[in-house]
Amino acid sequence: MRVMIWVDAEGISGVTSWEQVLAGRSRYEEGRRLITQEVNAAVRGAKLAGAQDIVVVDSHGAGGDHSFRNLIPELLEPGADYVLGAAWTTYTRPLEDGCDGAIFLGFHAKAGTPDGVLSHTVSESWLNFSLNGEVVGEIAICAAVCGHFGVPVWLVTGDAATCREAEAILGDSVKTLCVKEGLTRFAARCLAPQEAWRRIEMAVAEVVQYPPKVAPYRPASPTTLRVEFTAPEHVRGYLHEGVKQVNQRVVEVTADDFYTAWRTLWRR
């Protein structure tokens, strides 16, 4: 069994503040430890269920040299490979090589979700992101990247809003694990970290041993992506070939399939 674990930060139990997930902030090292321990729990679960090939991809942009390098190497669980430093959505080798399933760990809800802890889509400069006219978030983006290579998403962990969003996008068959309930965007009722780790280990072991019947997420083709920014100055960095500026704050891409459209928009 070959498993890819895609890791973000805002959906980790105990994380409720930007101070914990942005490099150089006062509680960033605390956040790194919490992320690393949830990753370790997921790896233990995958190993327990007999996975032979486990690849963990750090996909949280913390800023500066810590972007996609949030995991603490010396604390990581043996038995997996860890991808550090690869820009978000660019490292797809496990998917290309025939990964059996993906696990989204520590994900967060889309921008504008009132009970989504640290909810956003891509960055604070993105007000809304739509896929074929439907406003979605990073769960849909990452799932569509996996789906392009025929890989289903088996499990999504995060807050209650994240789990709700995952089920809306991927269907009732996807497994979700809620490790905290958002009270506001910056407050949550959280599981104790060790309890979250225990549940994550069990949930990952279950989906690896008994994969849910989830189809790979493939948006309809042709695919149109649209980004509405918070201010006009953010548009400039996205005016690549193939990207249309709709108005002062909106850009749009249409292509034959999601992945082509995404790689046209997101050039990192």
Is 240 one of the annotated binding-site residues? no
CA distance 37 to 48: 16
What is the phi/psi pair of residue 45, to 5°?
A: -65, -40
Is 60 one of the annotated binding-site residues? yes
Is 108 one of the annotated binding-site residues? yes
Which member of 120, 148, 234, 240 is catalytic?
120
Is 29 one of the annotated binding-site residues? no
**Is 240 considered catalytic here?**
no
Residues 6+ apart with CB under 8 A from 186: 16, 17, 117, 118
Other CB atoms within a 10 A radius of the CB of residue 267 amount to 14
CB neighbour burial string for 155-183, b if at least 16 within 10 angstroms, e if fewer: bbbbbbbbbbbbbebbeeebbbbbbbbbe
Is 148 one of the annotated binding-site residues? no
Cα–Cα nearest to 59, from 103, 25, 118: 103
Tell me the sheet residues that pair with 128.
Answer: 228
Measure the CA angle with vertex 263, ends 259 and 268; round to 5°: 140
Binding-site residue numbers are 8, 10, 60, 108, 138
List residues with catalytic annotation.
120
Binding-site residue numbers for Zn(2+) are 8, 10, 60, 108, 138
